[in-house]
Structure 1
Amino acid sequence: MHNSRYDIGRKQLAKIDGDAGEKVIDSLKDICPDLAKYTIEYPFGDIYARPGLDLKSREIATVAALTALGNCQPQLKVHLNAALNVGCSETQIKEVILQMSVYAGFPAALNGMFAFRDVLQERSKID
């Protein structure tokens, strides 16, 4: 039986983002449930489920992009957690953020590193 994009997306979301992903989806229910549905179907049901990259590589790319954008800390924090959830090490994530200083500038890298510190503190990894 073929799973729907939505079902595939829900499974991917749970595997990658866990509770953080569910909180994002739940936060949209009262304002725009369609955006929640599209978020499940397209990124997670279509893109994250593709065979060309493993989840770790996809999260490295996502952390790099969100760090470079420099203005999406809430989404970056969700994906920093996701990167840890799918097997990225703290060192790998720090190196990705540091690499962005070359291409996105120091403010973006600083914001990314501070977001990562917050994530680690929330996960009780550092004081």
Structure 2
Amino acid sequence: MANPPPSSRREKALEVLRRLDADIVDPVSADLDAVSPDLVEVVFGFAFADVLSRPGIDRKTREMLTVAALTAMGTAPEQLEFHIGAAMNVGVSREEIIEIMLQMAVYAGVPAFMNGITAARKAFAARD
């Protein structure tokens, strides 16, 4: 598939993603572009350029919220593992990640907590 035309929204989304984890930008955008050149623009544009770039909440807090939401969902282990790593990249400590998981055990249940801990263990191991 041909390279998608550059857009400021696409570039802004990829720049935000780059700040969370620079190593993932090229492979993920290439993978999505291979399916459809609109996917990065639409999906990442919405998530990273439109929402995560808003000034109302700092990036560290946004990543903590994302880790909590993905843990509670329990259906996106790869995205949770990515966002745990991204959270650590923007200053969230391992101890804070564990506290988020414990909070989710209370409100989302122990199975969600256990799945979250599995993702955390993988994200922590990737750093060691």
Same fold per superposition (TM over 0.5): yes
Aligned-pair Cα RMSD in Å: 1.5
Task: Give the one of 113, 119, 123 matched to 1:115.
Answer: 119
**Cα gap change, 1:109/1:12 in structure 2, threshold over 3 Å: closer, same or farther?**
same
Amino acid corresponding to residue 54 of structure 2 in structure 1: R
- 1:77 matched to 2:81? The reply is yes
Report the counterpart of residue 42 of structure 2 in structure 1: 38
Report the counterpart of residue 58 of structure 1 in structure 2: 62
Q: Kindly, what percent of the aligned residue pairs are identical?
A: 43
Report the counterpart of residue 13 of structure 1 in structure 2: 17
Task: Give the one of 29, 45, 49 matched to 1:25.
Answer: 29
**Cα gap change, 1:98/1:21 in structure 2, threshold over 3 Å: closer, same or farther?**
farther
Deviation, structure 1 residue 5: 2.0
Deviation, structure 1 residue 21: 4.1
The gaps in structure 1 that reach 5 residues or longer are: none
The gaps in structure 2 that reach 5 residues or longer are: 1-6
TM-score normalised by structure 1 residue count:
0.88
CA contact (8 A) 1:97 1:113 kept: yes
2: distance between equivalents of 1:57 and 1:87? Answer: 10
Instruction: Give the count of matched residue pairs.
Output: 122
Amino acid corresponding to residue 64 of structure 1 in structure 2: A
CA contact (8 A) 1:67 1:76 kept: yes
Report the counterpart of residue 53 of structure 2 in structure 1: 49
TM-score normalised by structure 2 residue count:
0.87
CA contact (8 A) 2:71 2:80 kept: yes
Report the 3-state secondary structure (helix = DSSP H, G, I; strand = E; otherwise coil) of the residue aligned with 1:29.
helix
Report the counterpart of residue 99 of structure 1 in structure 2: 103
Deviation, structure 1 residue 40: 2.6
